[in-house]
Amino acid sequence: MSGVTHDELPQRARGRKDRHLHKEGDVSEKPGEKEVCMRERPGKEYEFLDHTADVQIHSWGRTVEEVFENQGLGMFDYMTDRTTVEPKETITFEVTDAHDYRSLLYKFMDELLFHFSAEFFTLHEVRITSLNTADWSLKGTAWGERWDRNKHAIGTEIKAITFASLRVIPPDEDAQEDDYEGVRPPPGNWSAYVVVDI
């Protein structure tokens, strides 16, 4: 694993909990990316919100799959600058045994974090290829590369995904203005909030 140790992975950065908005652009602009990974990402957005000693990731998108994908992108952008991560490796994953959107999102993010913690896999892009609400499972593909301290910026390590305060808000839900923190997503968009332990 290129001689990388856990001590060299992104660690807690004091004062990193600043609020900022990241709007995801077209990842296909970089030459040499694998065609399967290239995709326009209109409406792919997320932001980081302060949450006591942790950080909250708020994502939104036109579909529930986009909201989940944006949570994963946001999580990795908090740990490093994803624009420096290349799609050199591909992993496929499956999440099962959930019982609703909340538990499915939790397990999805935990799966991505596992690949980072165990294999140093740093995310460039992620796509959910199927999401089944009959048995609350999903399958997906992620592109990225192994974390390299000489290439990837050191952000804040995310230690765990928390279930507390985790919310998935469908577009048809009659949400009140105070149900949202930060940016209000465009009409017809899904929205999700996940607190991560730093």
Average pLDDT over residues 6-22: 37
Q: How far apart are CA 160 and CA 114, in angstroms?
A: 9
Structure tokens at 41: 């990402």
Q: Which residue has the higher pLDDT, 15 or 162?
A: 162
Of 186 and 9, the one with more pLDDT:
186
Q: 79-98: per-residue pLDDT in tens?
A: 999 999 999 999 999 999 99
**Per-residue pLDDT at 34:** 36
Half-sphere exposure of residue 104: CA atoms within 13 angstroms, side-chain side: 24
Whose CA is closest to 197, among 65, 17, 64?
A: 17
pLDDT digit string (tens) for 40-58? Answer: 444 447 666 765 668 889 9
Q: How do residues 169-180 score in pLDDT, each as one tens digit?
A: 998 765 665 556
Whose structure tokens read 């999903």? 138
The set of residues, in sequence order, having a beta carbon less than 8 Å from that of 7 and lying 6+ positions away, is none
Statement: residue 5 has pLDDT above 50: no
In sequence order, which residues have a C-beta less than 8 Å from that of residue 70 and are 6 or more positions away? 24, 44, 45, 46, 59, 60, 61, 192
What single DSSP character describes residue 106? H
> SS3 for 29-88, per residue?
HCCCCCHHHCCCCCCCEEEEEEECCEEEEEEEECCHHHHHHHHHHHHHHHHCCHHHCCCC
Q: What band does 113 get if pLDDT is binned at 50, 70 and 90?
A: very high
